[in-house]
Amino acid sequence: MQRRHFVFSSVAAGLALAGTAVRAQGLPDTARILAGFAPGGTVDVTARRVDDKLRDVFAKSVVVENRTGAGGQIALSALKTSAPDGLTLLVTPMSMLGIYPHTYKKLPYDPVADFQPVSQAVRFDFGFAVGPMVPASVKTLGEFAAWCKANPGNANFGSPAAGSVPHFVAELFSRAAGLDLRHVPYRGTQPAIADLIGGQIASVSGPVGEFLQHLPGGKVRLLATSGATRSRFAPGVATYAEQGFKDIVFDEWFGFFMPAKVPAEALNRAAAAIRAALAAPDVIEGLAQMGLEARPSTPAELAALLKRDSERWAPLIKTIGFSADS
């Protein structure tokens, strides 16, 4: 009986492998996902979690290419000039498409004309963290503000990019707290956190998930999160609003995009594959480890979301007075 069970199991396994091979025969050889930020960060992790599920489903091989630099613009420029063959995707924060048009006089791309929305990927809150430069006795935003006023030469913060949402969240806090925090832009949040741990900068504003792996060691301390309610990934940390900064309630999302002239059939094929990948339990769990909530959507839903957020940020950026060209 055991031998018969072994034979049946072996046959079933062989048929499954054969089925996979047959499906793969009709697939393109290689597809790629562009990511504009450094390996190990939330954009990169999102790309790689989805990449794993697209392999042998969307293409025989799916590779992630990290095109870092210019606050994500290099990756977007690469997508713009990619062949519209349905085999190049990009995952990007909303900032590069919804905020940069309000902060740069000239961009190497048009966020609407040059790209096709495919699917939302994830949503997340932001965190504000301090490192070894700031005394361990500082545990709230109010205490941090007092420390900055007593140590103006060290009153600074890092962010993943100039003109990104975490940059503006920290700028709004700086103004509301009566501070003059100096902004230090990086190519992603992880490089900023490395300098935070090394004592080169006092604080970092970035996605909550970027900080989680560093919290147990104690060298990184979260002082606040930006959601309407406390983050489920850091429930012991009070929000900006809870600490008196009522207007600082923000989140953000990452989305998948393709070149503008991709045929509808290829776009819909990619959207369906990404939605299926983001619904997989192991992908949901893997993203949660980085403080990310999987949020697949249709292309139309993503287009509407981008339009809404761009319109929301336009007056806020005028209030802040930021220009990337100055």
Under a CB-based contact definition with an 8 Å cutoff, are residues 118 and 274 in contact?
Answer: yes
β-bridge partners, 34: 65, 90
The pLDDT value given to residue 187 = 86
Residue ranges of the chain assigned to CATH 3.40.190.10: 125-243
SS3 63: strand
The token pair at 242 is: 């809870």
Under a CB-based contact definition with an 8 Å cutoff, are residues 88 and 270 in contact?
Answer: no
The pLDDT value given to residue 22 = 43
The pLDDT value given to residue 325 = 82
The pLDDT value given to residue 16 = 43
Among 35, 204, 232, 40, which residue's Cα sits nearest to residue 125? Answer: 232
SS3 36: coil
Measured CA to CA, the distance from residue 234 to residue 187 in angstroms comes to 25
CA distances from 201 to 133, 135, 195 (A): 7, 13, 6
Q: For the chain (length 326 residues), average pLDDT per consecutive 10?
A: 48 44 72 94 94 96 95 96 97 95 95 98 97 98 98 97 92 97 94 97 96 95 98 97 97 97 97 98 96 96 97 93 84
Measured CA to CA, the distance from residue 290 to residue 127 in angstroms comes to 12
The pLDDT value given to residue 188 = 87
Highest CATH level, class, for 125-243: alpha beta
Among 289, 178, 191, 176, which residue's Cα sits nearest to residue 234? Answer: 289
Measured CA to CA, the distance from residue 279 to residue 318 in angstroms comes to 38
SS3 180: coil
CATH of 2-123+252-320, one of 3.40.50.620, 3.40.190.150, 3.40.50.720, 3.40.190.10: 3.40.190.150
Measured CA to CA, the distance from residue 107 to residue 103 in angstroms comes to 10
Residue ranges of the chain assigned to CATH 3.40.190.150: 2-123+252-320
